[in-house]
Amino acid sequence: MTTTNKRKLLYRQGTGFWRMTAKWVLVFGALSLLDGGLLRTWGDAVVWPLIGIVLWVPFGIGIVWYSRKDQWVRLTTRELYVRRRRLPMEDVNLLHVARLWLEGRSTADDQPVQQWIRSERVVWVPLLDGRAYGVEFRDPAAFAKVFGAFAVAACGGPDIVRARAAEAAYPEPRPMRVRSAGGGSSSSDVLDLFG
């Protein structure tokens, strides 16, 4: 956990572009060293970096032009940032988040968070007005764990959350319909609730 502008940074997710590039360089660099050092001459081993570059270029261009290439997600104690937009915590139904987390859930489905696989998956962020905003994560369980623990602590602890949830009367959050980027919609269609 780090501190940014006196706000605790609880969770950060980048695009993974540089991580992918670093892995690509390591793999083809290792192949080049192995080939040149053990199997053939260094002149022949130059082929591996060239193959790596030729294969990387379409993937690199695809990620740079990908519609969600700037899907940076940051959760602080005061705001949730998605694609350079922010959702203040005072608009989030933290009591509902905390209650779901204590039940082992953190989204619109009934599968426990511990059973979520590491892949892109939507985690729903419930709002006080009854809507729920979905954010996609490569490791959704990691975000759900951090967000759930933060919500429980912000609401005063597990006992207070259970007591307040038993008495609270708020609408069950309704997931907003997320329109696909290929359907001619812009990023503002999905992020219209961010001010």
Number of helical H runs and strand E runs in the chain: 7, 8
- What is the dihedral sign for C-alpha 111, 88, 90, 142? positive
Residue 158 clears pLDDT 90, i.e. is over it? yes
pLDDT of 120 over the 70 cut: no
Q: Specify the DSSP element, H or E, that contains 73.
A: strand 73-76
- CA nearest to 125, candidates 71, 194, 187: 194
In the sheet with 174-175, reading across from the earlier edge strand, the strands are 121-126, 131-137, 174-175
E strands along 79-165, which residues? 79-82, 85-88, 121-126, 131-137
Query: Could you tell me how many residues make up the chain?
Result: 195
Q: Which of 24-38, 45-59, 146-160 has the highest mean pLDDT?
A: 146-160
Q: What is the pTM of this model?
A: 0.62
Q: Identify the DSSP state of 51.
A: H
Q: Where are the domains of the chain?
A: 15-65, 73-178
pLDDT at 163 over 60: yes
Read off the tokens for 75.
Answer: 């959760």
Higher pLDDT, 39 or 188: 39
pLDDT tens track for 52-108: 888 888 877 776 666 555 567 888 888 888 877 888 999 999 999 999 888 888 776
pLDDT above 60 (res 178) = no
Q: How confident is the model at residue 38 (pLDDT cuts 50, 70, 90)?
A: low
pLDDT value at residue 6: 56
Average predicted confidence (pLDDT) for the chain: 76
CA gyration radius, the chain: 22
Q: In this predicted structure, what is the pLDDT of residue 183? A: 41
